[in-house]
Structure 1
Amino acid sequence: MLRAALYSRSAQTDARSQSAGRCSADEQTLHSEPDQRLKIGYVPGFADENAYVQRTQDALAHLGQVYPLSPSTRSLWRMLQFRPGFFDVIIVNWLEHKTANPATGKLSLPGIIAYFVQILTFRILARRLIYVRHNIYPHHAESRCAPALTRIIDLSERLYSATATHSGHFPDKHYIPHPLYYEQPMMSKTGKDRHFIVFGRVMPYKNIEQLIDSFPVDQLLIVAGPCDDQEYFKRLQIAAQGKQVEFIPRFLSEEEARELVGTARGLILSHADDDMIVSGSFFYALSLGTPVIGVKTPFFSWVQQALAVQGLTVIEDLQSIEAALQQQNSPPAEAIVCSARQYFSLATVICYWKKLFLQLQVQG
């Protein structure tokens, strides 16, 4: 599965023009020869179920030679094949996941130690170390452990050369656009279907149960994605009784995912907790020209203020979902993809990475 304030008109225009002007990308970027002298380590190196990793590595391959590196602590010994300073830059994703115990959600002392050991190891191997922060704290963490984990991860940022995120609302971090998964709208003979969809792993933090409770009975909702918590899944099934809710509790093939999301009237993002920065499902829907309905988050507020992305409807809470479906912003698929490409195309992603490398004086 592929792994989602009101401004005056003049202020919105100014903000959008500033955002669009930060990095000028064109087709020449995609066809330029990479600097093969630049050695770029990337963590995690291989993620079969995560197209984001592949798309990002595709972008970085235009800037140098990409070396896939394992995020596993047990694989540290393999790093001995590289001399100190071998890499010009190493880019790290999701390494902080191990700071919380995956079974209990509590702080993991061995995981925290391993996290810092890995950072220090990467610092020895690379001239520059970049942390891409996808979450404020791990999704699976207990809520009462969230403040401590946030402080630990904030502290760890001091060991990196720079921290990047996929949202521009952080003034102290470098903005790198999240890549689109595709850059052409899905070709469908029948157009959009009548269903709405929740897409991705089914987990309690996504507030799907609350969405089902508020979802109108005359609309069809498909919840597609595996669920490891069977008790939670049973609660969802009970909440869905008497409503048009269909579950597909498994990984979807790429073809199935494209069909379900690409023909949906809208993809719904019901998660607005403090841990998430952006959702990959948002970019997946835009890639296919599917409208998105999302509960208000700092990221969505920034998108509305700074970017002219079409097809996004933002609601204050899940209790507003019925009204949102009736007043949904649904431009043509081609218009959604065209607007998304302005900000999240592969050429734009390459341009932003190149700009960050120049700022950090990353050179071969």
Structure 2
Amino acid sequence: MSHVVPHPLYLNFNSDQHDNNLDEDKDKEFLYFGQVRENKGLCQLLECWPTDTKLTMLGACNDSVLENRIRGIISFRNLNVIWDNIFVSKGLLDEAIYKADCIVIPHVDKSMIVTGAAFHAMSLGANLVINESDFSNWMITVYPFSSSYNYSNLTEIIHNVNLLKKSDVMVHAKNVNSDDKVKRAWKSVFLSTS
């Protein structure tokens, strides 16, 4: 017998305290965060990233070859990418996620578990743009603020992403991933194995 346990959220929040306005005239803010490693799919993302769209990257790279490759792609394609190649404290990361409209999750399929980044982002009201995978296919069925892309449709997805208000993202995430739902799911797992 298999069980599905919802992923807990990263923060307790009150959506009434957050800005509900979407400024249709401002450029959308896209953010990648996390350690920069080969399996994160950043080189593939940057090879296809639209040249007219800003992307901020927050995360340290400990591989000089990969760092040079990423910087080379950014330079060669003349991308509007700002990369803070540093470890970022949780406070600064939370602030950056909250300011972003969309978090880009380019992880290579089946290379690692990506739920931490997605659930951290939705805890702070960010919409998600996720590299096509089994995970992204599941996410778009459960979380209406998630979009899935592949390398042939990335520009179209980025330019046309439909943003939900931060408060709507947080309310939906809390409804699906509330502490009570997580506790009940784990209780069901433990009771079925005893």
TM-score normalised by the chain length of structure 2: 0.87
Q: Give the corresponding residue for 1:310.
A: 144
2:9 equivalent among 177, 180, 195: 180
Distance 2:126 2:44 in 1: 23
How many angstroms apart in 1 are the aligned matches of 2:89 and 2:20?
21
Alpha-carbon deviation of 1:196?
Answer: 0.7
Question: What are the superposed Cα offsets for residues 84-121 of structure 1, whole Å, 9 maximum, x if unpaired?
Answer: xxxxxxxxxxxxxxxxxxxxxxxxxxxxxxxxxxxxxx
Fraction of identical pairs, as percent? 25
Paired with 1:257 and 1:277, the residues of 2 have a C-alpha distance of: 20
Query: How far 1:349 sits from its partner (Å)?
Result: 1.1
SS of 2:153's partner is helix
- TM-superposed deviation, 1:248: 1.0
- Matches of 2:64 and 2:20, distance apart in 1: 37
Letter in 1 for 2:162: N
Deviation at 1:190, TM superposition (A): 9.0
Q: Which residue of 2 aligns with 1:266?
A: 102
Partner of 1:285: 121
Change (3 A) 1:313 1:233: same
RMSD: 2.2
Q: Which has the higher contact order (CA 8 A, sep 6+)?
A: 2
Say if 1:310 and 1:335, in contact at 8 Å, map to a contact too.
no
For residues 98-109 of structure 1, the aligned pairs below 5 Å read none
Partner of 1:318, secondary structure, is: coil
Measured in 2, the distance between the counterparts of 1:304 and 1:311 equals 8
Whole-Å separation in 2 of the counterparts to 1:278 and 1:333: 21
Equivalence for 1:210: 44
- Is 1:195 paired with 2:29? yes
SS, match of residue 129 in structure 2: strand
How far does residue 245 in structure 1 lie from its aligned partner after superposition? 0.6
Alignment gaps of 5+ in structure 2:
none
- 1:238 matched to which residue of 2? 72
Please tell me whether Structure 1 or Structure 2 has the larger radius of gyration of its CA atoms: 1
Cα distance in structure 1, aligned partners of 2:124 and 2:68: 31
Contact 1:262-1:288 at 8 Å conserved across structures: yes
Q: Is the 8 A contact 1:183 1:345 kept in 2?
A: no
Q: Is the 8 A contact 2:39 2:111 kept in 1?
A: no
Q: Structure 1 residue 277: deviation in Å?
A: 4.3
Q: Given the alignment, which residue of 322, 344, 358 partners 2:155?
A: 322
Question: Which residue number corresponds to residue 87 of structure 2?
Answer: 251
- Residue 270 of structure 1 aligns with an amino acid whose one-letter code is P
The code of the aligned residue for 1:279 comes to: T
Paired with 2:140 and 2:29, the residues of 1 have a C-alpha distance of: 25
Contact persistence 2:107–2:114 (CA under 8 A): no
Shift of 1:334: 0.8
Matching residue of 2:170:
337
2:184 aligned residue (322, 344, 351): 351
Q: Please give the secondary structure, in 1, of the residue aligned with 2:152.
A: helix
Q: Is contact 1:310-1:340 (8 Å) kept?
A: no
Relative to structure 1, is the Cα distance of residues 190 and 230 closer, same or farther in structure 2, using a 3 angstrom cutoff?
Answer: farther
Per the TM alignment, residue 183 of structure 1 is displaced from its structure 2 partner at its CA by: 3.8
Q: CA deviation at 1:279?
A: 2.6
Find the aligned partners of 1:280 and 1:208 in 2 and give their Cα distance.
17
1-structure distance, mates of 2:51, 2:111:
30
Between the aligned partners of 1:218 and 1:182, the Cα distance in structure 2 is 33
TM-score, normalised via structure 1 length: 0.48
Matches of residues 32-71 of structure 1 in structure 2 within 5 Å? none
Work out the CA distance in 2 between the residues paired with 1:303 and 1:190.
Answer: 24
Q: CA deviation digits over 1:44-80, x for unaligned, max 9?
A: xxxxxxxxxxxxxxxxxxxxxxxxxxxxxxxxxxxxx
